Amino acid sequence: MPEPLPDSAESTAVSLVGEEYEVEVGPVAHGGHCVARTAEGQVLFVRHTLPGERIRARVTEGGTRSSYLRADAVEIIEASKDRVPAPCPYAGPGRCGGCDWQHAKPGAQRRLKAEVLTEQLERLAGLTAEDVRWDGTVEPAPGDKVPAGEVPAWRTRVQYAVDEEGRAGLRRHRSHEVEPIDRCLIASPEVTELGIEKHAWPQIASVDAIAATGSNDRQVVLTPRPGGRLPLVELDKPVSVLRTGEKDKAVHRVHGRPYVRERAEDRTWRVGDGGFWQVHPQAAELLVDAVMRGLTPRKGEMALDLYCGVGLFAGALAERMGEEGAVLGIESHKRAVEDARHNLDDFPRVRIEHGKVDAVLPRTGITEADLIVLDPPRAGAGKKTVQLLAGLSPRRIAYVACDPAALARDLDYFREAGYTSRFLRAFDLFPMTHHMECVAILEPASKRS
């Protein structure tokens, strides 16, 4: 007999966790799952399946009164032609939550992501691929083509969780539980070489492993368990070690450099304290190229790089706009601001301001900009920021987005504010997962007509 849901607002709701339903699987949905319906009409979001399959789904979350249930495909009755045996031994119902599409052919993964982007644009913004001038494809990163049955090893940063016994692994889907692993197939060879999985990590809650692209810098950031002391770290390769503070969450140097040096655009980028840098080794170059092709910066222009991290797009813009050009970057992470200033100190007309975009931008007194790049975190920029940006009357805007839902919402705000898409491109910079990266180039709607 199903148990009552302990955390349900509905006192009469009955948990359906563990119940099984034989269902026909419908379309893919944002988040790495597909939509199905029980015979009673209740919506299921099912992982480990593909559109068109007939499966047995086992409920993992939800009850009789839930607006939807989450489930895993535990038996594939009729398989999709896009299905392959998952190359990773840790993928599957109840196992590692890191990848979503281990069981799908690479081309099919990109089609699924394209369907998700299409659906999000349509449902959240009423936009078609034609409206945003997108060719409907998700482009693979060059170099990610691997023989059938193999997996591109792209992840240059991996956050390992550590279980009670000190074993490194990855978190199970929507869980704090750890799936101990011997090796992550999508980790880059340089991360794998560190041998994090081979070591015991007593008193540690998580280990962030970073292998820089284009330099030999390797780093681990350790987060101790409450009251835990740091173990002596001796890894297979020389690494710098940082530690996250228990109370303040500040990052402290244990040994080695407090930063790694990444290479992109023929420059070296210092990234400190485990701060943001694109995870796929080709992402920085690929995104800069897409953004610059879209913006076509001219000598002497004035540009903004918002949510600028360590200054990647600011540097690329400054390089192209020459000595007369000027760039203002805005970034909320203090250490990233210091790094951006350091990385771009050879450009006298680049200024980096510290703080949140919507608070700092009005204070700068800037009333016009020629070009804007914005690369916000997953939540997107939001209506207020979009209105601020449109008010600066840029001739073009490059929106770099890691979440298709936030992109769709913000494109809708931009449309309201008079900016439409000149083109949109989507990139598969997170193979085997449901994530993707998009670049939308916007211009005043008046230009388009």
- Residues lying near ligand SAM in the complex (CB under 6 A): 276-278, 307-309, 312-313, 330-333, 336, 356-357, 375, 377
Whether residue 331 is annotated as binding a ligand: the answer is: yes
Question: Cβ closer to ligand SAM: 59 or 371?
Answer: 371
Q: How far is the CB of 305 from ligand SAM (least distance, A)?
A: 7
Question: Cβ closer to ligand SAM: 106 or 376?
Answer: 376
Question: Cβ closer to ligand SAM: 29 or 357?
Answer: 357
Whether residue 278 is annotated as binding a ligand: the answer is: yes
Residue nearest to ligand SAM (CB): 309
Location of structure tokens 């007194």? 365
Question: Cβ closer to ligand SAM: 152 or 274?
Answer: 274
Q: How far is the CB of 314 from ligand SAM (least distance, A)?
A: 8
Q: How far is the CB of 431 from ligand SAM (least distance, A)?
A: 19
Q: How far is the CB of 332 from ligand SAM (least distance, A)?
A: 4
Which phi and psi angles does 192 have, rounded to 5°?
Answer: -60, -40
Whether residue 307 is annotated as binding a ligand: the answer is: yes
Question: Cβ closer to ligand SAM: 53 or 262?
Answer: 262
308 among known catalytic residues: no
Q: Which of 34, 88, 308, 402 is catalytic?
A: 402
Q: How far is the CB of 333 from ligand SAM (least distance, A)?
A: 4
Active site amino acids: 402
Binding residues for S-adenosyl-L-methionine: 278, 307, 331, 375
